[in-house]
Amino acid sequence: MPYNRDTLAAQADKLSGIEEETDLYEGFSPHVDTSEIKSLDFYTQKPSTGKEPALRSFTEIQQLLQQGKKRDVKSILRENSWPINSPIRAQLWPALCAQHQTKQNMLDGFYWDMVHQVFGTTELSDKPIMLPAFVDPAHCLTYHLTRTGRSVADRIVNVLGYDCPDITYSPVLYPITSILLHFMSEEEAYHCLAALVGSKEKVFIKQTKLQHEVTWKTVMQIAKKHSKNAVTYFQRICPGVKLERVFMDWCWWILAGLPFQHLVRIMDCYFHEGIKVLYRVALVIINLFHKECQSNNEWSPDNIKNDIGNALIKFCKKIPVSPTKLLHAAFSIRGLSSTYISRIFMKTEMILKSRSVLNNGSKQLVKSRSSDNLPSSQSQVNIQMMSHTLTIRELFTLWSWLPVRITMYQPVLLYTTEEHGCSLTTFYVRVEQHEPTLMMIKTCNNEVFGAYCSTRWFERNVKDDKGQRQAYFGTGETFLFSLYPERAKYPWVGIENEKDLGHASELFMAADSKMITIGGGEGQAIWMDENIRFGKTDSCKTFNNPPLCPSGDFEIRVLEVYGFDGV
């Protein structure tokens, strides 16, 4: 939603019972105690030479955001080291977060209506507020918030938990709330958090225990490749300590360890690019720590081998590089693309999901509430009532293949040829805004197969910076399946292979007014015509699948497309 900072801040301060103070640094909100904030340390500013390029303004960045020039915005955010007390963040951060918003624009006063609904009043109580179960009490980091600011953070997190009941475990959510409150009003901070939590295009905040575990294991796997020497060194000096114990706390190296001025600059980029920024910073921290271990007695093997995790946090507090150099090193790491990170994440999630099925009830695996990956009784009833293709047995099989987070939601029949007719136009009208979707085809020969489609079909209309429509879209979470006569799942080939497999391995979804295609590269896994009557299936490089029906060509008896309520 559009932000009017003056109006919203005045309203928020009035409702919060916060009086405007006059002795604050220009860029901070009234929630902040600035007495301990170091805006000028030995590494935050170099002596001026008079030749430095001027820092970019919010107006310039706002124009680029409105024009959809996200790459230009990314470059500016990475290169412009605004001072920690710069007033630009009061406008910049809400604008960056707003671009990830997926819910319809909230009406003015929505947040305060929610506050009144949850607490019965908009007055800020002096009594402690019980935090939601997804908060980690050991990491309720408040940085430089005042006592009132901390109470405001508690209230925001409670309201978000009420509005987003699917959040079951999210220890980083509270620290990010606190960081936001340093530069904006309570209401603005809530809207920023809601946008980050609901983002579909980029990942910002993990929201279940399983996702949390997959994330730190993903960082560990990436570090084994991109920080190999450091990881080998840690394993050598700490043979009795499992590497997992070190990486479980990776996010706290950044959020609890780094000086606040470093953290603020990281957030400038994070609110635009997502969690991959934190992955990059974590790798730099590991490499810098490894370097210091070899040259600084404070970090000698004898001093750190008994508690390397705590030593990493202490090192971050004294990190020997400026925020500018830290980010420059982070963004200079090669071969760490979003596609590569996504592949490692999905591969790790699949492994953990498989173990959770094999070791159901094991206390060693941290699992989300839906990690048993079985459809609820309500989901079974819904499918039985709606589907012309699925038996209960096939439903259980298909459900075990879905991403774990999706199994928390109830399936909703969006489109079926039995009820809505055979028209690609109708298909788009009913399906294109939903993400993800599950497509099932039953042929006139009774074969049953389909695809889990990770991205909205509306993406067929999205244009790049040059005004060209992208031929293919989607992510590596997309997969094919066959339920009859063969029962098999065909995931993206990139999950099992860390090498760059080329463009043909990433042809997930394509569509226009004449056809729909899933999978490509030397064949199309599923192709359907505009009348949703005839189709064909071939082997393809994206999924390394055989034809999904023996004849290759097929006539469609029923097409069903499901969405998931609440996603």
Does the structure show a pLDDT above 70 at 370? no
Collect all residues with Cβ–Cβ distance below 8 Å to 564 and sequence separation of at least 6: 406, 409, 410, 411, 412, 436
How many CB atoms lie under 10 A from the CB of residue 119?
16
For residues 419, 425, 431, 433, the Cα torsion angle rounded to the nearest 10 degrees is -150
pLDDT at 282 over 50: yes
User: Which helix (H) or strand (E) segment is 562 a member of?
Assistant: strand 553-565
C-alpha–C-alpha distance, residues 533 and 558, integer Å: 9
Residue 536 has pLDDT above 90, yes or no: yes
- d(CA 545, CA 551) in angstroms, rounded, equals 15
How far is Cα 236 from Cα 305, in angstroms, rounded to an integer?
A: 10
pLDDT digits (tens, 9 = 90+) for 51-67: 567 889 999 999 999 99
What would the DSSP string read from start to end of 174-206? HHHHHHHHTTS-HHHHHHHHHHHHH-SSS----
- 3-class DSSP state for residue 480? strand
CA–CA dist 156, 200 (Å, integer)? 22
Give the pLDDT mean for 318-341. 91
* Whether the Cβ atoms of residue 231 and residue 293 lie closer than 8 Å to each other: no
Alpha-carbon distances of 190 from 149, 185, 302, 340, rounded to whole Å: 13, 9, 45, 32
- What is the Cβ-side half-sphere exposure of residue 315, based on CA atoms within 13 angstroms? 26
DSSP string, 251-268: HHIIIIIS-HHHHHHHHH
* pLDDT tens profile 346-360: 778 766 765 554 444
pLDDT of residue 380: 61
Domain boundaries, the chain: 58-198, 209-354, 377-495+503-565
What rounded mean pLDDT belongs to the chain? Answer: 83
Q: Is 209-354 CATH 1.10.860?
A: no
**What tokens does 261 get?**
């001025």
| Dist. CA 509–CA 454, nearest whole Å | 9
Which residues, in sequence order, are CB contacts of 541 under 8 Å at separation 6+? 493, 501, 502, 504, 505, 507, 520, 521, 522, 523
User: Which structure tokens are listed for 366?
Assistant: 């941290």
Residue 383: the pLDDT is 62
Structure confidence at residue 104 as a pLDDT band (50, 70, 90) = low
Tell me the pLDDT tens digit for each residue of 498-511. Answer: 565 666 778 899 99
| Helix spans in 372-479 (H) | 377-386, 392-401, 417-420, 424-431
Model confidence over 429-446: pLDDT tens digits? Answer: 999 999 999 999 999 999
CB 184 within 8 A of CB 192: yes
Q: Give yes or no for residue 280 having a pLDDT over 90.
A: yes
Verdict on whether the full-model pTM lies above 0.85? no
* Short-list 438, 473, 443, CA closest to 458: 473
Q: Which of 50-54, 491-495, 531-535 comes out lowest in average pLDDT? A: 50-54
What are phi and psi for residue 218, nearest 5 degrees? -65, -45
